[in-house]
Amino acid sequence: MATALIYLFVVLAVAAVFFGIVALVFGRGEELAPLAPDATPTRLPTGEIDGEHVRELRFPQALRGYRMTEVDWVLDRLADELDRVGAERDELLGRIAELRAARATDGAESIRE
């Protein structure tokens, strides 16, 4: 009988230690504390952002963090979209410059006549 009580005590002690370690590692199920306003651990340039800036982003990981593959997929998609929009913007700005140059040339020729 005494041996059974000792085994029971040891099992309870091991279970209590295991529960304590799990509680310390995983917490009590509370949400992560929100960041202070205007605070972020992630850095982006203050000027224009292009696809390469997004590709270089890395978010801090926490035990109860995020799914890295999903965030990486979203960042890759966002980077591709930024590259596409940037190329389209550059093409349109080039076209505007061509039209202005052509307009200035037409205006100069009409003045000469």
Q: Which segments in the chain show pLDDT lower than 50?
A: none
Residue 34: per-residue pLDDT: 64
Cα 106 from chain centroid? 49
pTM: 0.47
The letter for the amino acid at 97 is A
How far apart are alpha carbons 83 and 90 in whole angstroms?
Answer: 10
Residue 5: per-residue pLDDT: 86
Residue 113: per-residue pLDDT: 56
Residue 92: per-residue pLDDT: 96
How far apart are alpha carbons 94 and 85 in whole angstroms?
Answer: 14
Residue 17: per-residue pLDDT: 94
